[in-house]
Amino acid sequence: MRFVLSVLAFLILAGCTATGPTFSEQSSATPDLKPEPGKALVYVYRLDQFRGSGVTSPFLDNGQQVGSLNRGGYITFQTDPGMHEFRTDVIAVDEPLTLDVVEGQTYYLKIFTQGVWRMVFNTVLVPKEEAIIDLRGMRYQGN
């Protein structure tokens, strides 16, 4: 019985892992991804952590859903310049990021979970150099 439960738990958690082409494969297919005129480009990625692995994270830009992320996944989207609140929309606690987005810029946002007694989904701005390292094995979950 313990074996059956272990296999079942594994299959459930495996189903909550991102699928799609890796960042490296996607970058090879579209190497010149840049902000559209009058917009900014945003990469959002979710670390492949065990904590929160059974939760899909809808991601919001000023209250509008722009994608959903499983652990180990990433999305990209174009957005208008100005003040933005970026956050996940999960049952756990969401720690938003407020950012003044500038036209023509590219932003990298990382989602990670923390907490013991209550799970917190954090969204933070990271430098491109850190994001590129984190993104290498991540899988694209965009449209």
pLDDT in tens, 3-53: 333 433 443 344 445 555 455 555 544 556 799 999 999 999 988 755 555
CA–CA dist 39, 31 (Å, integer): 18
User: How are beta strands 120-125 and 93-95 bridged, if at all?
Assistant: parallel
Rg (CA), the chain: 16
Please tell me the distance from the alpha carbon of residue 123 to that of residue 111, in angstroms, as a whole number.
5
Summarize the confidence of residues 87-97 as an average pLDDT: 81
Q: Is 71 helix (H, G, I), strand (E, B) or coil?
A: strand
Buried b (16+ CB within 10 A) or exposed e, 82-114: eebebbbebebebeebebebeeeeebbbbbbbe
Domain coverage including residue 108: 2-140
Residue 18: strand, helix, or coil: coil
61 compared with 91, residue with greater pLDDT: 61
Q: What percent of the chain has pLDDT over 90?
A: 45
pLDDT at 120: 78
Q: Give the total number of structural domains in the chain.
A: 1
Q: Which residue has the higher pLDDT, 30 or 74?
A: 74
Q: What is the mean pLDDT of residues 72-93?
A: 90
Mean pLDDT of the chain: 78
pLDDT of residue 8: 36
* CATH code of the domain covering residue 121: 2.60.40.2890
| Mean pLDDT confidence for 106-132 | 86
